[in-house]
Amino acid sequence: MAMMNAQQYRDSLARRKPLKVYLDGKLLANPLEHPYIRTSMNTVALTYELAHDPEHRQLMTAKSALTGATVNRFCHLHQSTEDLINKVRMQRLLGQRCGTCFQRCVGLDALNAVFATTFDMDRKLGTQYHARFRQFALAMEQNDWIVDGAMTDVKGDRAKRPAEQQDKDMYLRVVERRPGGVLIRGAKAHQTGSVNSHMVLVMPTVSLKPDEKDYAITCALPSDSEGITYIYGRQSCDERKLGGGEASDIDAGSPTYGGQEALMIFDDVFVPDAMIFMNGETEFAAPLVDVFASYHRQSYGGCKVGNGDVAIGAAASIAEYNGVARASHIKDKIVEMNHLNETLFACGIACSANGRKLPAGNFFVDALLANVCKQNVTRLPYEIARILQDIAGGLMVTLPSAKDWLNPQTAGILKKYLAGAAGMSTYERMRLLRLIENLTMGRGAVAYLTESMHGAGSPQAQRVLISRLANVEEKKVYAKSLALNNSVETVEAAIRSGLGKLRAPKAADAAAPVKA
Ligand code: SF4
Ligand code: FE
């Protein structure tokens, strides 16, 4: 099957069996028609649409490592550092076009992580998962699937391990092993784009001990599988999307696009053997989580930079509508926004350029740099948003409803008193202010800010990896070798043999004056 276009993608979702989706206390009869879901689906559809756009086709597609065919880059096993860089560039492009989360990266990152981990697992344990997963990878690219990567368990009491939880379902687990497959039970939180997906790829979320075999499950299943329930996440100001018409469009801030998160419940769902890629191999849970997390932390150096481009464009535009574009402090603030945003992009590109080939054959990012990238993403978008709000002014949050703008009794008053710079449209000024509100406080802020903080792991998760990967022992050798004036040969030998072993000659200690 060829790559889908946006309409074919929408049609393919409509062909699924009815999904059980609860939203605002109701079971939806037709989830894809709901305004929250429809707008989030528009965002995913962009990943299909731009793949057919002559301008962006090259970036949005890749040559399959499995068949040589042209496939959507979101279904691609990275074959070079150039592929990794193009992934980040593609994510920036999409972030610019939608100003929110386009939801498709989790599946791409899970694809590459499970491909690599199943290879390592087979090699060490003699299991047979990799060939199976290859079949899944092939089906994913040939069907141009959206795959929802389902990692984050609900976790219950954070001080307790999976097997220690009072309610054993706090981490998704195998509850029954049957001939031909398993039954899984549990819930995955914050499931980005899950209702908009064709498949779900379940993975463990923490390192596991040998007695936690039931939690060591990696498997794929259709998103419309019997036993899966979705409970849709509320987002700040999401009701602005309701009602339809121009007033709702204006107040939504960005009417066409949105993100999507849902709580996903697996109630004894059957998974056949052919779709299982880890089943009890606890020692490979941590490597899978780490590899996936690093890929996903790279992703944020692309998507959030694209969202940042929208923020910078909004700041520069609203400055013009407010009549302050030429003020030197405004120009300097926009320089600062660019500086911060490009710093994030530099991290995304650097961890890609410094990537390497894995034993499985696909390419992996520089994990230290990817974690540094995401750590910066937990901070810099907040500063960019702060400057954007500074430039926008308080009207962003005191602006009357669009219904007042459309009401003939108040329209004239608002047109007169909300006017900005001479010759600039008051209507456009109002819409830009709503976009800024959306991006920094509304539904768009879920993607631009909160996801920047917690998506792909909260800040502390990156700090754990940075502390593990940054070789501080070697850095100690650099410092001590200078302080002790060691020869080049001694320093190189110290680095090669266990590090941190540099000492001054014993005689030097002996010669030091002893304090009384
Ligand atoms: Fe992709 Fe960014 Fe959304 Fe994650 S937050 S799915 S990386 S767009
Ligand atoms: Fe995410």
Domains and CATH numbers, the chain: 289-469 (1.20.140.10), 472-510 (no CATH)
- Strand pairing category for 199-202 and 217-222: antiparallel
* Position with higher pLDDT, 63 vs 481: 63
Considering the candidates 300, 378, 437, 440, report the single residue annotated as catalytic: 300
Residue 192 a catalytic site member: yes
Q: Residue 485, by phi and psi: left (phi above 0), alpha (psi -120 to 50) or beta?
A: left
Residue 1 pLDDT exceeds 70? no
- Closest-CA residue, ligand 1 atom 8, reads 101
Query: Which of the four pLDDT bands, split at 50, 70 and 90, describes residue 502?
Result: low
Per residue in 131-157, pLDDT (tens digit) is 999 999 999 999 999 999 999 999 999
Ligand number nearest to the C-alpha of 105: 1
pLDDT of residue 12 exceeding 60 = yes
d(CA 24, CA 150): 23
Q: Which residue blocks in 126-280 are alpha helix, DSSP H?
A: 129-143, 245-252
- In percent, how much of the chain has pLDDT > 70? 96
Q: Which ligand is nearest to the CA of 92?
A: 1
Do 424 and 357 form a contact (C-beta atoms < 8 A)? no
pLDDT in tens, 256-289: 999 999 999 999 999 999 999 999 999 999 999 9
Amino acid at 279: N
- Is 98 one of the catalytic residues? no
Task: Give the mean model confidence (pLDDT) for residues 2-22.
Answer: 97
Contact between residue 235 and residue 443 where contact means Cβ atoms under 8 Å apart: yes
| Secondary structure of residue 395 in the 3-state scheme | helix
- 3-class secondary-structure state, position 275: helix
CA distances from 208 to 110, 157, 172, 287 (A): 19, 16, 12, 10
- Ligand 1: which atom is nearest the Cα of residue 451? 5
Look up 383 and say whether it is catalytic. Answer: no
451 catalytic? Reply is yes
Q: Return the ligand 1 atom nearest residue 447 CA.
A: 5
Residue 105 annotated to the active site: yes
Q: Whole-prediction pTM value?
A: 0.95
Averaged pLDDT for residues 363-387: 98
Q: Is 370 in the pocket of ligand 1 (CB under 6 A)?
A: no
513 pLDDT band, cuts 50/70/90, is low
| 91 C-alpha to ligand 1 centroid (Å) | 8
**Pairwise CA distance, residues 459 & 324, whole Å:** 36
Task: Determine the atom of ligand 1 nearest the C-alpha atom of 102.
Answer: 8
152, 192, 205, 378: the catalytic one is 192
Over 90: is that where the pLDDT of 494 sits? no
Residue nearest to atom 7 of ligand 1 (CA): 299
User: Are the C-beta atoms of 64 and 138 separated by less than 8 Å?
Assistant: no
Question: What is the rounded CA–CA span in Å between residue 128 and residue 219?
Answer: 14
Angle at 97 between CA 92 and CA 101, to 5 degrees: 70
Residue 306 has pLDDT above 60, yes or no: yes
pLDDT digits (tens, 9 = 90+) for 208-252: 999 999 999 999 999 999 999 999 999 999 999 898 899 999 999
pLDDT value for 244: 84
Q: Is the CB of 90 under 6 A from ligand 1?
A: no
* Ligand 2 centroid, distance to 75 Cα (angstroms): 17
What per-residue confidence (pLDDT) applies to 485?
A: 86
Kindly state the greatest CA–CA separation across the chain: 94
DSSP 324-387: -TT-HHHHHHHHHHHHHHHHHHHHHHHHHHT-EE-TTSSEE--HHHHHHHHHHHTTHHHHHHHH
What confidence tier does 509 reach under pLDDT thresholds 50, 70, 90? low
Q: Indicate which residue's Cα is closest to atom 5 of ligand 1.
A: 101
Ligand 2 centroid to 450 CA: how many Å? 10
The reply to whether ligand 1 has any atom less than 6 angstroms from the CB of 377 is no
What CA–CA distance (Å, rounded) separates 56 from 24? 38
Position 103 scores a pLDDT of 98
User: What is the structure's pLDDT at 516?
Assistant: 44
300 is catalytic: yes
